[in-house]
Amino acid sequence: MPDADIAVRALRSLDLTDLTETCTDQAIDALCKKALDPRGPVAAVCVWPQFVKRSRESLKGSSVRIATVVNFPAGGEDVSRVADDTQEALSDGANEIDLVIPYDAVRRGDLAAAVEMVEAVRELVDGDRLLKVILETGELKDPKLIETASRIAIDAGADFIKTSTGKTPVSATPEAAEIMLNAIKASGKPVGLKPSGGIRTVDDAKIYLDLADRIMGPGWATPRTFRIGASSVYDALIAAIEGRAGTAATGAY
């Protein structure tokens, strides 16, 4: 498949992200403008909770969804606080909640704590809104733990499972994505995959699209089942669509 076709496919499945510590209203306005580019639009923007309302104003009337993060990035275990944060984000207009699973609990074998967290947030994320559960695979490390976390999230009601916060030394890897896709396939449920963090080139995006095509079948990876969480890949995708050589990616996510 030509780079331009891969780039179009990736752009439409992009969760265009700004989760930098220095994010401003102006940065959000610029992000939303990019999200609406006619070569896309992207699937969603992913922003801090305090920017959900501003994003909603900027994206009003468009198909671009608003994702925000809860229990992020530490993956704590205070269920009631995370439920409150989720409710507030939904009230502000978020369409999608990216929840960090309590991955330390998973590592120490306290699977019930992880299940409780996902189920509590699932109860709140209703209608056509989506729950994306971040496993933080770079911290889980062990393939068996990644498989366990995938299964827990799927069984507790995740609409998507997502690799990473982008805030740890290791973000998305093809190895983790393959384990997660196999868990999705084994579940038989209509759950999507979101690789996130460290995806900066068209080739990076192609790796994950190819994995999805191989494991789930060609045509499975659409914005309903596949997202790429990134900020820095956007310019490279646009360059490929325009037939320009890829520009050097910048961005922390």
3-state secondary structure of 8: helix
What residues are labeled active site? 98, 162, 194
In angstroms, the Cα distances linking 56 to 23, 32, 129, 160 are 16, 9, 14, 22
Of 220, 204, 197, 54, nearest to 139 by C-alpha is: 197
> How many C-beta neighbours within 10 Å does residue 252 have?
14
Edge-to-edge strand order for the sheet containing 14-18? 192-194, 160-162, 130-134, 96-100, 65-70, 44-47, 14-18, 228-230
Q: Which residues contact 53 (CB under 8 A, 6 or more apart)?
A: 92, 93
Cis peptide before 2 (omega within 30 of 0): no
**Residues facing residue 44 across a β-bridge:** 15, 65
Amino acid in position 170: V
Chain centre distance of CA 111: 22
Cβ burial of 245 (10 Å; 0-12, 13-18, 19+) is exposed
